[in-house]
Structure 1
């Protein structure tokens, strides 16, 4: 009796591929959707989404404002910093030389202006200009004093907290004085009642502008904290070259006074979620523990997801809407931790 020949391996490939498709695990979105039904088949949750824990301020990725050699890194991970504090210093010899040259030029132009009689009707404007110069100098001195106090603390010196607080307050007051002086001069120039600057005055104004540019260049060699927060990561290393790059931040900073979750909601569930809705957050690291939260904001645009999902399909294949959830008590949750976000039914009682 003749037997049928065995099927060739190539002929089996379509069948094997079909078997793998049906046997493959469901995408993460589908898996979590199955979890949203209880044992009686009733839907317990309005929607479920993948999310990630982040600081209240999001993660601020701070890079250098100018290219240069890193000469000092003043912070370490978990350090608490205040807004305006220097985190990293970049080589500033050349920038300081430019400031010195600009100061000399501005000083010479100012003396030439003062040696010349003021044009009729320009006295009030000159007084406002002089007040602005004094306010700028006071603000720079206050900032230098604040920098000296905070850097001393970071270097392991005495770092008197009371002295730092006084320096910070003096900087705030000097900045407010500068703001008022700028506003007053702008008001006078806008009225049109004062005569235009003569040649000597115009040269002094141009020299002041050059000095401001030089000082701005020097400031770019200092990476400062934009907010009060906690240092999450430090990539800066002394001796390395720092360059402006969003992909290679020198320091990552965040406000850990509160945590939230940024979730990626499947676009098909948009109608099930609203601002103010109660949610439950769960993390694999803390099995059996629920973290309560509330929907704080919902994005206005839909786009591809950015969080990796389990299974052969990735979240990037699904159009999602970003939903931000404020956590009532984050407890042991950590920044960067991946979590599942369960959106409660509007008429569902908390469990």
Structure 2
């Protein structure tokens, strides 16, 4: 009996001796876990806000020129809209502008030498015809007294002489106008027509530019929201594509009102994804000056917005997590 009684006492003694070591091991394990002043949920986002792009005119989408995940450069075409009517009007306006500009140059330069020479030849021809008509009339008047020319014939010859005199006056006026060149007011009028038609062409050409949706920034196509054959919905401001610059990622944390007062710029932070042991280091770079709705942008339209939060932007000190905009992460802030 004594041996059986001694065994429990011996085991109890061993347990007492072992307890300090066990306690130390547990403490070490606990101290190895990160200790944070506070934790919060956050979402990954681009440091510059994602751009929700809408078309500039109502039209059917003809082609989508990029896919989700493609990197794009600022100004790169992303989407093409149906614009046959606008392009036809633009072509006609450009043709009118070119014609008006050519006319203005001709007016400013004055007539060519060969045109002036042709006008001078018409004057000489008119002079010759007038001389012949006057000579015929003079001879007919001499024969009138002999009765060989009737009064009717004399009237015809006189009318012919007057017609030739009028033709000479007209040809002489045209030659003088060509020799003097365009009047100042004619030059101004021609230049004004050229400017007006050029402005019309530029306006319509600007309309054709709206037929192409272009990237406003260097970035990555996050989502293509509309496809070929669908209506652009420009008048309703409907987004057709989402583009963001993912070169600089941040975590946008929503700090509850209970902890909002204790957060400050420069605080160290750990960021992790639920279910992953990996931690990314960062620090608080921006703090909202007021409480309000969540501003960490997500592409999920059902995402809730909590009023009682203060937004904190956390920059990554090293390599950031995979650039997945809207990914929910957790943030632990170190005091």
With structure 2 as the length reference, what TM-score do the two structures score? 0.58
1:245 and 1:215 mapped to 2: Cα distance? 20
The change in CA–CA distance for 1:275 and 1:81 in structure 2 (over 3 A counts) is same
1:333 and 1:106 mapped to 2: Cα distance? 50
Q: Which residue of 1 aligns with 2:314?
A: 325
Q: Which residue of 2 aligns with 1:144?
A: none
2:51 and 2:208 mapped to 1: Cα distance? 23
Matched, 1:79 2:70: yes
How far the C-alpha of 1:90 sits from its partner, in A, is: 0.6
2:304 and 2:258 mapped to 1: Cα distance? 14
2:88 and 2:54 mapped to 1: Cα distance? 24
1:264 and 1:252 mapped to 2: Cα distance? 24
1:264 and 1:205 mapped to 2: Cα distance? 57
Matched, 1:105 2:96: yes
Could you tell me whether the CA contact under 8 Å between 2:78 and 2:215 is conserved in 1? Answer: yes
CA-to-aligned-CA distance 1:321-350 (integer Å, 9 cap, x gap)? 3322222322346322111222221xxxxx
Q: Which residue of 2 aligns with 1:70?
A: 61
Which has more radius of gyration? 2
SS in 1 for 2:60: strand
Q: What are structure 2's unaligned runs of at least 5 residues?
A: 1-29, 110-186, 298-302
How far the C-alpha of 1:93 sits from its partner, in A, is: 0.4
Q: Which residue of 1 aligns with 2:139?
A: none
- Count, aligned residues: 221
2:308 and 2:234 mapped to 1: Cα distance? 32
How far the C-alpha of 1:44 sits from its partner, in A, is: 4.6
Q: What are structure 1's unaligned runs of at least 5 residues?
A: 1-38, 119-196, 309-313, 346-351
The change in CA–CA distance for 1:333 and 1:208 in structure 2 (over 3 A counts) is closer
Out of 53, 67, 87, the residue aligned to residue 96 of structure 1 is 87
With structure 1 as the length reference, what TM-score do the two structures score? 0.55
Q: Which residue of 2 aligns with 1:232?
A: 222
How far the C-alpha of 1:297 sits from its partner, in A, is: 2.4
How far the C-alpha of 1:219 sits from its partner, in A, is: 0.9
Out of 270, 278, 294, the residue aligned to residue 280 of structure 1 is 270
Q: Which residue of 1 aligns with 2:42?
A: 51
Could you tell me whether the CA contact under 8 Å between 2:270 and 2:279 is conserved in 1? Answer: yes
Q: Which residue of 2 aligns with 1:165?
A: none
Q: Which residue of 1 aligns with 2:197?
A: 207
CA-to-aligned-CA distance 1:242-291 (integer Å, 9 cap, x gap)? 122787422222222232112223355444333333221122142x2211
1:321 and 1:116 mapped to 2: Cα distance? 70
SS in 1 for 2:92: helix
Could you tell me whether the CA contact under 8 Å between 1:70 and 1:88 is conserved in 2? Answer: yes
SS in 1 for 2:191: helix
CA-to-aligned-CA distance 1:299-318 (integer Å, 9 cap, x gap)? 3443223679xxxxx97453
1:302 and 1:113 mapped to 2: Cα distance? 65
1:65 and 1:300 mapped to 2: Cα distance? 35
How far the C-alpha of 1:218 sits from its partner, in A, is: 0.8
1:228 and 1:237 mapped to 2: Cα distance? 22
SS in 2 for 1:210: helix
Could you tell me whether the CA contact under 8 Å between 2:252 and 2:296 is conserved in 1? Answer: no
Identify the structure with the greater helix proportion: 2
Q: Which residue of 2 aligns with 1:259?
A: 249
